[in-house]
A = this chain, B = another copy of it.
């Protein structure tokens, strides 16, 4: 929004090379707002503008750019500026950029870092993808428990902690192991001679650097805190994760889950930033797989070709019955996948879920069966259509098939995510269309077999 309003003026200033004017306007905004303005500029102009900003602000603006824009800007900047920005930005944002780049580019950028930052960057990149370690910042303040508040304040003043998170100050033992923490607010309100021991929070919530990022999301949801310290396998404090990064993780995971549930491979960028070809590439494979899977329906149908020719009315209700299976399957699978993502349902709950879906599926199937059977009877009685002399048996076929298909849809939709998780696959792969396709093929078999079983033999001869 701000970008749109200012854009003509900014472009004008760039053309006039009025760098002082540009700098003045930009410095009045929050880094995230400046980044929003930059995104709409050509990469070369982005680089020009970034060079204009005071060093620290430039780093903060850069952190707020989307990864693609960060890459483009780096290309447009000279080595010296790239080095400056990379050394200045916060380590967790740098990790996010470096992990996206090809290995060769990452190496080249690592070489531009000063030894200290290079060590940090390499350490963070050493943690597994999607682990807490990749999201953490190694900039925190650690103190000893035998210190006084005055000593802590002296320590805080000693260093330039501008980029650090210091609302929580961590207390470690002589080996660097996390013992507890004190809040900055406690430090502020007690007399300077107070011992740190007196204001300890007595809470040891921590994450492991190798924990999955979803564990971090769950921990932040549970404890309602804004930061959590991260320890290594020896309990040694190695960093801190803040909830704002975790909010991004949670939102990204939800986006991926929704896209996968819809039968799309997770997009790497926002919808409108993805080119049409990239989008087709994300959608076509699943569509093709589902299509090939769904081809089984034609094979199945061919087996019942004779029956369909004898009783065309059977084909009228085919899409209706199949769609019910797909719909209940889609309901069950979305419920379970989300419940798994937020840890409401664990792998060990499968049997409870199975029983619930068994009962629920029968009930839901029963409700639809009544509607379906009544529909056939009404059409017959009001002469909208003539289903022949066996119309009441036909209504029964529709009802029984619906119970079978809906029950089957519920169970498949609910159990598949468990199966996928059991074999260590992402349960969200089990998309709604995937379940619908599976249920379609079996739904057809259920439908035609119920028909063959209930309808009098004579009709098929």
- Chain A residues packing against B (C-beta within 8 Å): 28, 30, 32, 36, 63-64, 153, 156-157, 161, 166-167, 184-185, 187-189, 202-203, 205, 217, 220-227, 242-248, 250-251, 254-255, 257-259, 261-264, 267, 270-273, 276, 279-280, 283-284, 286-288, 290-292, 294-295, 297-298, 301-302, 305, 308-309, 312-313, 315-320, 322-324, 326-328, 330-331, 333-339, 342, 344-345, 349, 352-353, 356, 359-360, 363-364, 367-368, 371-372, 375, 385, 406, 431-433, 436-437, 440, 444
Contacts and interface: CB of A to CB of B under 8 A. Distances in A.
A319 B315 CA distance: 10
A308 B337 CA distance: 39
A334 B287 contact: no
Given A247-B246, A258-B257, A319-B318, A335 B264 contact: yes
A305 B295 contact: no
Contacts of A161: 185, 189
Contacts of A248: 221
Contacts of A258: 254, 257-258, 261, 334, 337-338
Contact of A335 (B167, B271, B330): B271
A372 B298 CA distance: 11
A62 B299 CA distance: 59
A339 B167 CA distance: 34
A297 B320 contact: yes
Given A272-B352, A272-B356, A290-B324, 13 more contacts: A63-B224, A157-B189, A217-B247, A226-B226, A262-B333, A263-B330, A263-B334, A271-B336, A276-B360, A280-B363, A287-B327, A287-B367, A288-B367
A208 to B, nearest CB: 15
A301 B286 CA distance: 28
16 contacts: A30-B223, A36-B222, A64-B222, A156-B189, A167-B184, A184-B184, A184-B188, A250-B254, A272-B353, A284-B367, A287-B324, A287-B368, A288-B368, A294-B323, A309-B312, A318-B319
